[in-house]
Chain A
Amino acid sequence: DVKVTQSSRYLVKRTGEKVFLECVQDMDHENMFWYRQDPGLGLRLIYFSYDVKMKEKGDIPEGYSVSREKKERFSLILESASTNQTSMYLCASSSLPGPLKTGELFFGEGSRLTVL
């Protein structure tokens, strides 16, 4: 069964702390994504990566950075957490569309981060 695993389901951090959110996929997908989801705002893309060591800014990259050292792992980093980063964070991965692939997004269960 295909899987995207996020390291923590719930986290509570203090303002100014450095926060790492880890995501691992076992499907050998090229693309990986980090979204955040807030009530009334839907899913917003933070960063995505289409290859190892490659990254692209999404719609709301400010205050975040990412790391993709291995194909299966994509980490989201909050260098200095702030209260406005309290949110649900969703990791996803996808292959490229093609005859044998759907290119669909597979999501993890999400990590709910609270910054106090």
Chain B
Amino acid sequence: DAKTTQPPSMDCAEGRAANLPCNHSTISGNEYVYWYRQIHSQGPQYIIHGLKNNETNEMASLIITEDRKSSTLILPHATLRDTAVYYCIVRPDNYGQNFVFGPGTRLSVLP
């Protein structure tokens, strides 16, 4: 499975956009990019995923570079409740494959 690299921590001011980068330079053609977040003492929560095209949902936007070697998760208007650890994962689209969670990025949204 392709490995991902994320900064260990980031700060963001409340109300501003939070842009969380992820490097996945060894990604292969059938691998999706998934983003999850984990708020303290809870199980991780799905945010968004994509293959090639940029994606947007009610929580966030996902921007994937044309060569697919990196992506950025964007929280357009961060709130204090967005303080969490964010995980970027690549996952092959084949049967039974698991998600490998790295250490993620600890995002602190500051008032």
List the one stretch of A60-68, A69-77, A79-87, A97-105 in contact with chain B.
A97-105
* Interface size grouping (class) on chain A: 20 to 34
Q: Which of B34, B45, B100, B104 contacts A107 (CB 8 A)?
A: B45
- The answer to whether A58 and B34 touch across the interface, beta carbons within 8 angstroms, is no
* Interface size grouping (class) on chain B: 20 to 34
Residue numbers in B under 8 Å from A90 (CB-CB): 43-44
Closest Cβ of chain B to A79, distance in Å, is 23
Q: Which residue of B lies closest to A108 (CB)?
A: B43
Residue among B43, B46, B96, B102 with most chain A CB within 10 A: B43
Q: A30-B95, A48-B96 given; name 13 further pairs at CB < 8 Å.
A: A31-B98, A45-B98, A50-B96, A103-B49, A103-B93, A104-B34, A105-B36, A107-B43, A107-B45, A108-B43, A109-B42, A109-B43, A110-B41
